[in-house]
Structure 1
C-alpha cells in the first residue's frame, strides 16, 4: 500500500467516524409525530369518558375523537437523521427545543403546566357546551390555587367560588383582589364562598406580599370560573395534558346533553383550544393530528380557522371543517349529520 493510498484510507475512516458522531449527536430540536385518538363518546374503565349528572343525557351514535401529538420528551434527544426525517415526512415536524420547552423548565413543572391546561380546557368545555345547550351558566370569581405556606391553606380549596368579601358581593376576580388589598397588612378578610352546594364563611388573616410588602395578600390566586347545576366529569387519562382538546370535549358534552345525536353516524376528529365563551383559537401539531384522524378512520376533521394555513399543502381525504367558535362547530356537524354539505359547513380554502 502506497503512502497516498494509506492516507486516503485513514481519511476515509476518520470521515466515517466523524459522520457517525455527528449523526448520533443530540440536536437542539424536538419532533412532532402522530399520537393517539380518544373517542370522547366512549367509555374508560366502565364509565363514560364524558359523564354528566343533573340534566337528561342521551345515547351517542357516532364518534367524537380528540387527536393527540407525540412529542419528544423533555429529557429525550433527537439526532440529525431524525430531524431530517421529520422535516421531509408528511406527518411529522421538527421545531426548536426552546420554542416548545421554555428554558430551565423541569419535568415536574412541565407536567404541572399540562395538568393545569387540561383542567382549564375541561372547565371551559363544560361551561361552553352547557351554555350552548341552554343550561344556565354563571361566571363567578373562583379560587385557582392555594399556597401551601400561605394563610388560606386548609381554609380554601381550588374550585371555591367567591361570592362576597366582608359580606359585600363581588362580581369579578379583579373586584375581589381590590377589596382585599384595600386594608392594612395583617387585617382579616372574610370571604363568602360556594363549595359544592354549600355557602361557607371563611375568615383569613392577610399577610404581606413577597413582592410588595405594603400590599396584603390572602395566599392564593383567583380566576373567573363557571357555576352551573349539572355536574360534568371527564374520565380522561391524567397523563394527557394540554388544552388543545377543549373543542372536542365541548362537542362531546353537548352531544351528551342534547337529543338527536350531534354527529349522527359520522366519525369526527379534530382539535382546538376553547375559552369559556366558546371561542376557538389555534392549536399546535395540526398536521400530525390530521394524520391521526386519517389513520383511525375519521371522515370529518374539525379545526380552528386560524390553522387552515398550516395544512394548506397537506392533501387529505377527510372533510375539513374550519370554525371560529363552538356554535360554528355545532351548526356544521349538525348539517353534515343530516347530509347537508353546504351552507353552514365552512371548509379550508
Structure 2
C-alpha cells in the first residue's frame, strides 16, 4: 500500500513511499524558466529522497514478512533489507525552491511526475496501481524462489506481508528471503552469512532480475540502516558508482547469480563488483 506522509520541506506536501521510480532525471528544466514561475504555479515534478528499509527475514506490521508453510522453516541470522524511496505526490505543490534544493543535494533527486506516477490517475487509483504491482511482484518472487529450490508450489505455500510499500522492486529480496528461510546457503549456514544485506531489483518468475531506478538514493538508505552489502541489478551499475563508504556493491542479473554471490561472500570467496 502507498503511504502518504506530511512534507518536511517548506510548502505543505505529501510524500509517497515507493519501491521504484522508473528513471531519475536531474536538471531537466532551465534555471531561467524556473525563475520565471517562482512563487506561482506548482511545477510538474516530484522530489525523492531515501526511504524506509525493511528486513524481509524479520517482522513488519505485526507478523513475519515471509511465512512459508508446507515445508520446514529455518531460523535465520543476519538481515535481507528491501529498500524504498520517498517521492512527493502529484498534488504536493512542488515549487521552484524545492526543485533547486533537490538539484544540489546528494540525498534528493528531481524527476518529472510522469516518470514516477501513472499519468491521468487519481491518488486512489495510483495507490491501487502500486498495490497491484507489489502483489504481482510477490507472486513472481515466490514462483522464482520455489523453482530455484525445486519445491512443489502445490505443497509449499508462501505468505508475504508488506503493506505500506508499492511497486515491484522488492522482488529480488523477497525471493532471497524465501530461499534463506527454506534452504539457507545450501550447506547448513545462512545465506546472509550473518551480515546485513540490502538490495533492489524486480524479478520475473524465471528468476531474471530487472532494473528499477532510484538505486543511488536506495544505497543511502541501505547504508543508513546498517547494510554492508548492496545487491544492484547489473544494468544499473553505472548509476551507482561511487558507493557510500562502507557499502560493497554486488551486481546481479538472476536469482541464481544473487544466491551464488551471497554464498561466496559468506565463505570469503571472490564476488563480482560494479
Instruction: Give the TM-score band, short-chain normalised.
Output: 0.7 to 0.9
1:232, distance to aligned residue in structure 2 (A): 0.3
The aligned counterpart of 1:330 is: 259
Deviations 1:74-119 (A, max 9, x none): 2212121211121121122101113322331111221111111101
- Structure 2 CA distance for partners of 1:296 and 1:24, relative to 1, 3 Å: farther
The aligned counterpart of 2:178 is: 253
Report which of the two structures shows the higher radius of gyration computed on alpha carbons: 1
TM, length-normalised to structure 1: 0.64
The aligned counterpart of 1:262 is: 191
SS in 2 for 1:105: coil
Aligned mates of 2:244, 2:159 — CA distance in 1: 36
Structure 1: runs of 5 or more not aligned = 1-18, 137-226
Q: Does residue 163 of structure 2 align to residue 234 of structure 1?
A: no
8 A contact 1:69–1:285 mirrored in 2: yes
Q: Does residue 93 of structure 2 align to residue 77 of structure 1?
A: yes
Q: Which moved more, 1:269-278 or 1:72-81?
A: 72-81
| 1:232-311 map, 5 Å | 232-237=158-163, 239-259=164-184, 260-311=189-240
8 A contact 2:243–2:249 mirrored in 1: no
Structure 2: runs of 5 or more not aligned = 1-34
8 A contact 2:219–2:244 mirrored in 1: no
Deviations 1:139-195 (A, max 9, x none): xxxxxxxxxxxxxxxxxxxxxxxxxxxxxxxxxxxxxxxxxxxxxxxxxxxxxxxxx
TM, length-normalised to structure 2: 0.81
Q: Which has the higher strand share?
A: 1
Aligned mates of 1:72, 1:44 — CA distance in 2: 24
SS in 1 for 2:220: helix
- Structure 2 CA distance for partners of 1:24 and 1:261, relative to 1, 3 Å: farther
SS in 2 for 1:67: strand
Ranges of 4+ aligned residues in structure 1 off by more than 3 Å = 313-316
Q: Does residue 78 of structure 2 align to residue 62 of structure 1?
A: yes
The aligned counterpart of 1:107 is: 123
